[in-house]
Amino acid sequence: MKKRLPFIILAIFTLWALSSLRGPKAPEGIDHVGFGKLPVLLNGRIQPMDSVAMNALLQLRGTRKVPLEGNNGTGEWGDFLEIRGEGNGLLTERSWYQFSKHPKKLSSTQWLLELMTRPDQANERYIFAVNHPDLIGELGLGEAGLDRSGLRYFTFSEIEPHLATIEKHASSLNPKPELRTPFERAVAKIHFSLGLFLRLKNSLQPQDSPDFSAELEEYVANIGPGIEAVRNRESGNEYDEEAFGSLMRHLERYDMVSRVAYPLLVPPDIKTMERDQWSNVGTNLLDAVHTKRFPAAIQNYAAMSTAYTKDDAQAFSTALSTFRNSLAKDFSSELRKAKLEFAYNHFSPFYKSIVLYLVAFLFACASWFNLSQWMNRSAHYLIILAFIIHTAGLITRMVLEGRPPVTNLYSSAVFVGWGAVILGIVLERFYRDGIGSVIASVVGLITLIIAHNLSMQGDTMEMMRAVLDTNFWLATHVVVITLGYSATFVAGFLALVYVTRGLLTKTLDQATAKGLTRMVYGIICFATLFSFVGTILGGIWADQSWGRFWGWDPKENGALLIVIWNALVLHCRWGGLVKDRGLMNLAIFGNIVTAFSWFGVNMLGIGLHSYGFMDAAFRWIVLFTASQVAFIALGTLPLKLWQSFKTDTTGAAS
Amino acid sequence: MVKHIVQFLTSLKLTVACLAVSMVLVFIGTLAQVDEGLYTAQERYFKSFIIYLEPAEADWRFPVFPGGYLVGVVLLINLLAAHGKRFKITKKKLGIFMIHAGLILLLVGQLFTDLLSRESALEFEEGQSKNYSEDFRKNELVLIDKSAPDSDKIISIPESRLRNGSLIEDSNLPFNIKVHDYWSNSDISGTEKPDSVKTDATQGPAKDFFVLPMPPVTEMNRRDLPSAVIELFDGDQSIGTWLTSAVLKPQTVSHEGTDYEIVLRFQRYYEPFSLTLLKASHDKYKGTELPKNFSSRVRIQNQETEEDREVLIYMNHPLRYGGLTFFQFQMAADEAMQRAGMIPTSTLQVVRNPTWLTPYLACIMVGLGLVVQFMMHLLGFLKKQRNRPKAQSPRSPNKTKAGKHSPSSEEQSGKSTTSATS
């Protein structure tokens, strides 16, 4: 049985992973899944409506779904809209012990569809994350909103009365984002969120349109008389005041849409325009004054909107399929791309990998304690499964972007993990002692969690700004240097294993210790090779694009630090300045150096390379550095305190 | 004694110490850029022999840490000495040798780059031709004699000679110049502002203007704009006092029937050819403000070689011509500007760096060396793994053996490489 156990475990998890590969089924009511697959242009790239929704919701709320049910303060469970109210206390989401409850949730696309077509309803959803206590106090929202273990979410209706206050604070923000106080950052975030919300609301139609199809009909019918009225008015003649007023009211609202609409929904006329010249609903409606007609896309979207407000699933599906068919002729590649990205969003390969790495990590750690082979093998198999999914995710991203794997901070996190997992798997194949598995799963897990947090900042497949728009250098310099990060982290984490196991457990026997030393040494050689070659390639790229090989820019210096550090470790080893434990402590310090080079320099907010500025991670960097310093301190404790080596001094090898 | 010195200079400990010092240096030099700006930090930490502690108000300074040049030189000596003393090229050490030779080339090459390279900028409007570029930091005080019909006589005084109270005399100058005041960074305004200074200028259109002294800029994309108040003398006879500034246009000074234009401007480097900007394009991704590409279509005209051709300079695709490299640097040519009826402009960065090839060569050497060395190790390791009997795999531990282990007495697993460097 124990022999087969690893295979059974692998099979269960494989089935779990494959189960969502088919994507969500078409729902019975309104076909929001089909809506989510529609291609639009945003951030300079074609993407499905679903990605617009998901990235927006991640930015606003930090989650991919919007819960509709939960508890109120009196302990009653139900739909938030029904159970909230004066005296009912603060709403809370499902608590961990309420496992029998399965709250209804809106998917990101459902939420976006509602926001675009039924804003009155969307205004009541708890989607604005505000967590700074001073800001909540300033806005007088202490009694309002929804609570989830201390995180607070509010509806637009709750925030709306305080827009002026937010605007006032936002106008006095420090112009340099890196110098803002936590309160200012909270203000900037809610200000940005409100802007995004407004733009999405006015992307498909003006936010105050109760029946968009009917409105468009009225508008078209009114253009002729309206224009005549305008002409008459201009030439001082008598004019139809009603037609004039009606046209002006329409134009004013469409002008607003043309200025704030977020995704570009209307495909170009392929006969006369470039493929990427998508446009928003507003500009097309304004143009209609001259042409008296508008693109089929708008009519179809309007029909979908009207069908949604009337909850007419049949009419919605008809409009949706008419639109899809109209796209199929000239925009089949855009449709395919949107569909692929939709499938990618729903398969969420990196989320699945996180789960698998976590399970594998537990198996691998457990295997050290009872030395059981089946756990070790289960861990190894699960890591290989996770790695396959991880790789599939990477490749899908590359296909969607048409780029090498690393294009921004987010993808660098995904790729650092990927490189580390390969190294871990290779180590495991050589040594078969669970160490490679632990490394692969831990680094894979941590880097993917980092990536997940980075994805909160918006679209992770944004276009490359001019100087980075070169697949050659992205494929060489960036990939090689990122693998250098991977290797340095792997060496550092191997050393952590050495210290933890040696100090706290009796499992670090001679063979394992020797093996670990050899691994760390070999991986550091590998890291030196990659970080050096990567840094040099970066220098050559800089020479090609900025006219100097080396400019002492923070990111360049960060890379240089890794190279010097690895070289230093190797020379210490060769010169006999350090033995095994010294090597381990140096390798742990390599983690700090790499973390600084990878994230720390971005926080300085200066230099030519500062494309990926971020401030929230600063605390984590400090914590990580402190933890590594603590490990180094532990690593220098006298040998008699080490559980694994204790027996040496007593000589009693029992 | 000599033996000790040789031993010290060739020791691996010195190498490690140098590497450790350079780690600290690079780290503080990077952090310092936040406050001091990239250029100042670079000069202070990397392009120096000693880093001094010099408080802003104090007139003393105290050496605290070795600078980049010093570490580089010591490392170079260490490398050369170690190789000279104990290195013989063998097959086993080939990789190590290539790595270190490449490093030497890289260090020396960068030193020459620091000494010989020059960066300047060429900014022009569409349709404009220029045969000079302007330095990013240096300025010059220039007298232009336009009396000759086909050529101007230009006399340039480098900024370094413009110090408060200094007197500039030269046989090439039609008059002597006394510097009353000099501000390395400043702004000029027609009205008085807090902290602004009324100058004692008596001549020229700028005589009533105020100078607002400013601290040196730290941002990379801005530069200092100097101003100076200068008095011109014919012998001992004062001609008048002028306010000159990098923000002011040339002013005319008449002396003995000749008109001179006098101006404080960015230092210019003239070339024997001219570039004309034909078209500047700034492409953005649809629906965003994100730049997709910047490109300049440029016409090169060289009277000496009778060359006359067009070339496109864009991101990651510089033009190498006449010993110079022209990079697309900045641009003001987006749709909003064009709608406003402004003429698009483009700025090229112009770099003269005679040693630009050395890093390329160095990289190839080091990269190959690393590959050779690590492949040899990897192959050795794989061979060992294959030859190892199955029974000795670490996962079948012989528990009584485990007790004998002590890491400090353990055989150094890096031994095989120790021999490579010692």
How many Å apart are CA A607 and CA B37, to the nearest integer? Answer: 9
CB contact under 8 A, B15 and A575: yes
Residue of B nearest to A575 (CA): B12
CA of A115: how far to CAs of A49, A109, A370, B276, B395, in Å?
13, 10, 55, 53, 59
Q: pLDDT higher for B204 or A179?
A: B204
In A, which residues are within 8 Å of B353 by CB distance? Answer: 547-548
Per-chain mean pLDDT for chain A: 88
Residue of B nearest to A569 (CA): B16
C-alpha angle with apex B189: B183 to B192, nearest 5 degrees? 100
Which of A376, A510, A593 faces B402 most closely, judged by CB atoms?
A: A510
> Which residues are within 8 A (CB) of A235 and not within 5 positions of it... i.e. 6 or more apart?
none
- Can you give the pLDDT at residue A282? 92
Which of A462, A574, A652 faces B421 most closely, judged by CB atoms?
A: A574
CB contact under 8 A, B353 and A509: no
CB contact under 8 A, A564 and B23: yes
Mutation site for B-interface testing, chosen from A536, A577, A650 by largest number of B Cβ within 10 Å: A536
Q: How far is B63 from chain A (nearest CA, A)?
A: 22
Looking at the predicted structure, is the pLDDT value of residue A611 above 60? no
Q: Can you give the length of chain A in residues? A: 654
Burial class (CB in 10 A: 0-12, 13-18, 19+), A318: middle
In B, which residues are within 8 Å of A645 by CB distance? Answer: 405-407
Q: pLDDT higher for A589 or A651?
A: A589
- Other Cβ atoms less than 10 A from the Cβ of A184: the count is 18
> Which residues are within 8 A (CB) of B126 and not within 5 positions of it... i.e. 6 or more apart?
B277, B278, B279, B280, B343, B344, B345, B346
CB pairs under 8 A between A and B: 244
Which of B374, B394, B402 faces A433 most closely, judged by CB atoms?
A: B394
CB contact under 8 A, A552 and B27: no
Please indicate if any CB of chain A lies within 8 Å of the CB of B73: no
C-alpha angle with apex A348: A342 to A350, nearest 5 degrees? 140
- Can you give the pLDDT at residue B396? 40
CB contact under 8 A, A545 and B16: no
How many Å apart are CA A47 and CA A45, to the nearest integer? Answer: 6
Looking at the predicted structure, is the pLDDT value of residue A118 above 90? yes
List chain B pLDDT tens, one digit each, 422 residues: 788 888 888 888 999 999 999 999 999 998 888 778 778 888 889 988 999 887 777 778 888 899 999 999 999 999 888 888 776 777 778 888 888 899 889 888 888 888 888 889 999 989 999 999 988 888 899 888 888 777 788 888 888 888 888 888 888 888 888 888 888 888 888 888 888 888 888 888 888 888 888 888 877 677 888 888 888 888 788 888 888 888 888 888 888 788 888 888 988 999 899 999 999 888 888 878 888 888 999 999 998 888 899 999 988 888 988 889 998 888 887 777 777 778 889 999 898 888 888 888 988 898 888 888 878 878 887 888 777 655 444 444 433 333 334 333 333 333 333 333 33
**Of A124-133, A247-256, A586-595, B278-287, the least confident:** B278-287
- Helices and strands (H and E) in chain A: how many: 28, 10
Q: What is the mean pLDDT of residues A546-571?
A: 90
Q: How confident is the model at residue A123 (pLDDT cuts 50, 70, 90)?
A: very high
CB contact under 8 A, B406 and A575: no
Residue whose C-alpha is closest to residue A262's, from A110, A36, A49: A49
Looking at the predicted structure, is the pLDDT value of residue A341 above 70? yes
In B, which residues are within 8 Å of A514 by CB distance? Answer: 410, 413
Q: How far is A636 from chain B (nearest CA, A)?
A: 12
In A, which residues are within 8 Å of B19 by CB distance? Answer: 564-565, 567-568, 571
The distance of Cα B352 from the centroid of its chain, to the nearest Å, equals 11
Q: Is residue A603 within 8 Å of residue A617, measured between CB atoms?
A: yes
- Other Cβ atoms less than 10 A from the Cβ of B28: the count is 15
- Can you give the pLDDT at residue A616? 61
- Can you give the pLDDT at residue A442? 94
Q: Report which listed range, A139-148, A163-172, A645-654, is most confident.
A: A163-172
CB contact under 8 A, B315 and A466: yes
- Other Cβ atoms less than 10 A from the Cβ of B277: the count is 26
Q: What is the mean pLDDT of residues A159-176?
A: 90
Mutation site for B-interface testing, chosen from A262, A564, A599, A601 by largest number of B Cβ within 10 Å: A564
Which of A42, A540, A567 faces B19 most closely, judged by CB atoms?
A: A567
pTM of the model: 0.84
Q: Is residue A178 within 8 Å of residue A613, measured between CB atoms?
A: yes
- Can you give the pLDDT at residue A355? 95
C-alpha angle with apex B66: B61 to B68, nearest 5 degrees? 115
What proportion of chain A, given as a percentage, has pLDDT over 90? 54
Phi first, then psi, for residue B48 (nearest 5°) are: -145, 160
CB contact under 8 A, A560 and B291: no
Q: Is residue B224 within 8 Å of residue B137, measured between CB atoms?
A: yes
- Can you give the pLDDT at residue A498? 93
Mutation site for B-interface testing, chosen from A176, A508, A543 by largest number of B Cβ within 10 Å: A543
In B, which residues are within 8 Å of A458 by CB distance? Answer: none
CB contact under 8 A, B11 and A575: yes
The distance of Cα B124 from the centroid of its chain, to the nearest Å, equals 22
Please indicate if any CB of chain A lies within 8 Å of the CB of B417: yes
